[in-house]
Amino acid sequence: MAPIRLRGPNGLSTIQVPFEDDTYTVQSLQQEILKATEILPSRQLLKSGYPPTSLAVIPDLPVSSLGLKGGDQIIVSEDSSRAPAVAPPSPPVAAPAPSIGGLLPQVMPKEEGGPAYVETDGSFLIHRVVPDDNSCLFTSVALIFEQDPTKAPKMRAIVAEGIKKDTETFNEAILGRPVDEYISIIQKPQTWGGAIELTILANHYSTEIASIDVETGRIDHFTPTGADSGNRCIVIYSGIHYDAATLSPMLEAPDEWHQTVFPVKSKDDDDSVLVAGKKLADKLRERKAFTNTSTFDLKCEDCGKGLKGEKEARQHAESTGHVNFGEY
């Protein structure tokens, strides 16, 4: 078995392919792609290599006929000109993920037509979507600084260590709970991160983290307080979810070609990469890819009580100890 990366409309995923098994056909691979992308085999357009070229898909041939090897990437898109033979199955509806630190569920609208992007200076600033699993901030920062979104736990450990080293700044009043308790909770995968975590991570990597709010277009700058590399990166905030934004020389370039950190050309928001970031937020706003946390309807999954917005959710949590909420 060897890993093959899939880049589809819903982001990145990895499947295992038994290239040595002659009974594993191209059609078998297409079924795995269907599971990962919900695109029917009859509508799958597959490309690989650089520059990406179309694969000769002959379903009955062994998968080795595609000329792929372990570690390669397949770019999957949907041929909308072909009518599907059957309606695709509806994906299962997952239960809301529990959240302790952030309290609210992460529900990010799926981007129709693939991730949003804007062109800038001959390259493309691309919305890099990460999973809605309560670790989105840490996953996004891991993607940016480590080029590996699976290193979200490392980002949590960095935050915990940053608090331990500076309990004068990150005291109980700032954290909203005892320091030891906060350190314990922030290392759990179901706990959200926010401004405190972005501040610590910016300091650790000596790099400004610019957080762009989709609903308002506001840019919050988390700048290092010590050594400063003179660089910045961008995260996109939807109200309840963080993603990354990275610069690619072309739309279908492999991940390793993406630039994740940019030199600061201007301290103001007229820096070209920030201008592109705001345009990217504009596109996401047009797609309604944000949540107004002050007005959305919630349900307490512990007792069934209906609530309006984050404020009522926090009040309910403080009075009852309930921390599991879902959107209506």
Catalytic residues: 133, 136, 241, 322
Q: Of the candidates 146, 112, 150, 137, which has an alpha carbon nearest to the alpha carbon of residue 12?
A: 150
CA angle at residue 272 from 136 to 232, to 5 degrees?
Answer: 45
- Helix segments in the chain, DSSP class H: 26-37, 136-146, 152-165, 172-175, 179-186, 195-204, 272-286, 309-320
Q: Of the candidates 95, 159, 139, 116, which has an alpha carbon nearest to the alpha carbon of residue 241?
A: 139
Chain centre to alpha carbon of residue 310 = 22
* Rounded Cα distance, 281 and 118, in Å: 10
CB atoms within 10 A of CB 299: 18
CB atoms within 10 A of CB 304: 7
Backbone angles phi, psi at 141, to 5 degrees: -70, -35
- Helix segments in 166-233, DSSP class H: 172-175, 179-186, 195-204
